[in-house]
Amino acid sequence: EGCFTLSLLSNSKGYRLRFIISQKWEVNKIILQHISTIFSVGNVSPHPVVDNWEYIVNGIKNTTHIILYFDTHLLYTKKKQSYNLWKELRIQLIKGDHLNDDTRAKMEQLAKTINKS
């Protein structure tokens, strides 16, 4: 399972921009490690759920690798909508829209809809 996420922190102007792939079973850990090698960023670590692993890419700089990949290797499922919204919100972060209370509130609402389509 893969997802694109943006969390705008409530106690600061901070945020958490992430791309995550989760897989069950130890045997799939090597696949996640290979994906990490392809992107040259991110970490593979145990998921809080037993016998699950996740590959996580954090932050604006590191997610550049994800953008370059998915802009070249297009998504065709409902993940495409999630990706496009996540990418647009990432651009808003780069512009600093998360620092303004009004635009931050709009971003928070949009971020809640990622992966919901």
What does the domain layout of the chain look like in residue ranges? Answer: 2-111
The CATH class given to the 2-111 domain equals alpha beta
Strands 15-24 and 52-58: antiparallel
In the chain the first and final C-alpha atoms are separated, in Å, by 15
**C-alpha radius of gyration, the chain, whole number:** 15
DSSP-assigned letter for residue 76: -
Using N-to-C axis directions, what is the helix angle for 79-95 and 101-111, rounded to 10°?
Answer: 160
Q: Over the stretch 5-43, which tens digit does the pLDDT of each residue have?
A: 999 999 899 999 999 999 999 889 999 999 999 999 999
Phi-psi region of 115 (alpha: psi -120 to 50; beta: other; left: phi over 0): left
| DSSP H or E segment with residue 80 | helix 79-95
Going by pLDDT thresholds of 50, 70 and 90, the confidence category of residue 1 is confident
Q: Are 74 and 67 in contact (CB under 8 A)?
A: no
User: Of 4, 3, 60, 50, which Cα lies nearest the Cα of 26?
Assistant: 50
Given this model, what pLDDT does residue 117 score?
64
The span from the CA of 100 to the CA of 92, in Å, is 11
Given this model, what pLDDT does residue 88 score?
98
Token pair, residue 23, equals 């897989």
pTM: 0.91
